[in-house]
């Protein structure tokens, strides 16, 4: 059974600081997703990582994937208040990797 662990689950940080969210998973997969969810809203796709060593960046967020270590990171650079949200990683499994198993999410609060 695929297990996906995110840490930390709660993150409070100051504007301008850097931090990293970690996503570990238990079985082989080369498909890793990061989503953002604002309170009461749906999920917004941030990144899809499809191969070992994949790195993607959008604004102040950068995601990477190490399939050998079964680890993905979401790095936040110079945080701003607008980044406050819950961030989920999800790992693809099944024959075509389209069955997603989600981590429990990281609630990020960026304080002025």
Partner 1 sequence: DAGITQSPRYKITETGRQVTLMCHQTWSHSYMFWYRQDLGHGLRLIYYSAAADITDKGEVPDGYVVSRSKTENFPLTLESATRSQTSVYFCASSGTGVEQYFGPGTRLTVT
By the 10 Å C-beta count (0-12 exposed, 13-18 middle, 19+ buried), 76 is classed as buried
Token readout for 18 is 């850097």
Choose which of 36, 88, 91, 110 interacts with partner 1 (CB under 8 A): 88
Q: How many residues bind partner 1 (CB under 8 A)?
A: 21
24 binds partner 1 (CB under 8 A): no
Q: How many CB atoms lie within 10 A of CB 109?
A: 13
Q: Which is nearer to partner 1, 33 or 76 (CB)?
A: 33
Choose which of 7, 20, 43, 56 interacts with partner 1 (CB under 8 A): 43
99 binds partner 1 (CB under 8 A): yes
Among candidates 11, 34, 46, 18, which has minimal Cα distance to 92? 34
Which phi and psi (to 5°) does residue 78 adopt? 50, 65
- State the residues that interact with partner 1 by CB under 8 A: 4, 31, 33, 41-43, 45, 48, 50, 88, 90, 96-105
């Amino acid at each position: 059974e695929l297990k996906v662990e995110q840490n930390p689950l709660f993150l409070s940080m100051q504007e301008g600081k850097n931090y990293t969210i970690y996503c570990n998973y238990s079985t082989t997969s080369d498909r890793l997703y990061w989503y953002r969810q604002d309170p009461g809203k749906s999920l917004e796709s941030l990144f899809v990582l499809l191969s070992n060593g994949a790195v993607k960046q959008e604004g102040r967020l950068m995601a990477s994937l190490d399939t050998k270590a079964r680890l993905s990171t979401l790095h936040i650079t110079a945080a701003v208040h607008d980044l406050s949200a819950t961030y989920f990683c999800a790992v693809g499994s099944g024959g075509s990797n389209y069955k997603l198993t989600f981590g429990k999410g990281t609630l990020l609060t960026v304080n002025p």
